[in-house]
Structure 1
């Protein structure tokens, strides 16, 4: 009854077996195995962490930690001013560890091979699945709603590699998560500085090589990291995403 088996090579039998039972071919691991996820480390508890100064004007609320390293200038928090519900770390070990972890995450994300090249610099109006995205020019923007869909992989990461500047316009800029996508798995990797417009509603980690300016009443779920410069806030609501499934 097994006489016909001789017509199949060993490789053919293995390939058929793998197809039927969803076993990856030997030597060809699945994408998630080849590409480990970005990890924020200790920075994940920070709503904002800057290299030089962290400045708030008005009634900013940071739900999480806030800090600077190696700089120590943190202003605009306290009685009658902004609120940081976690620890305020000015140039101490916790802040410096968070900055170091931001740099590690930045370098890791920037080095990932891109999976998609976007047709335009504006993310507004797009619905995207998890992946590593680059732009046709060095800068990028968000003018309206960006929808990130985790249906294919609720733990998948969305990584946007931006060579120079990133800007989100005013109240029309919004990141919407659907299909189980998580803000902690969204990364905007910015080669210079980022500007978040007044009233923008962001979700994700923005890691900027230089500085981040957040205008009046803008919000974010995730971590803002400025690796070599300042973060400036005006009446903002920032919520660190201290846990994340990856």
Structure 2
């Protein structure tokens, strides 16, 4: 008898689609992020009022700017006596990261043209993180919308409460509330530093900012601290250069 050979096994290497995530689970996660971060708007309200801004100015910053790090950077520089233009430049520089978030989210969410201006206003760290963590476009849209809406409402409400409270108690420095803003910002930032490169960048940025604080005008050390990122990337690139390439360049 002729020897029978087994038919070839055809392997399907196509990755399996990501499992669907219930809408309720997405909403729960989004609400958790929105509420946790939105409550820290109180710290911004206190910090802004302590820097000399009125309640109206403080609330307008949260309504129109709506990016916590930039807001804290602006009022922090003003509180230190910095030039308003320098303070605004530092805040603007920090806010440019949202433009890069928007490039990624525009493809993921694919929102209708009519609602893009509103969606763009909600493109911040938290909404981006929640949206990118979802397995499908539907879940990403739900996560982005719920996080953005919850955070926007709570952030602005607690900003108002913080500003009114700061006006009522008077001198915020006497209560130690002038440190509330930086403390909240660091608490939000710390969990995001997962890799050695990120931690090194943050460490060098802190050293640059603190080291240059006594010699540069208020607000400028924030801009100078941004040099930490290219420095770390350059050093990392030097370390990962193949040995053969180094020899060829001699």
Larger proportion of helix: 2
The structure carrying a bigger strand percent of its residues is 1
Please identify the structure whose Cα radius of gyration is greater. Answer: 2
TM over 0.5: no
Q: For this structure pair, what is the TM-score category when the shorter chain's length is used for normalisation?
A: under 0.3
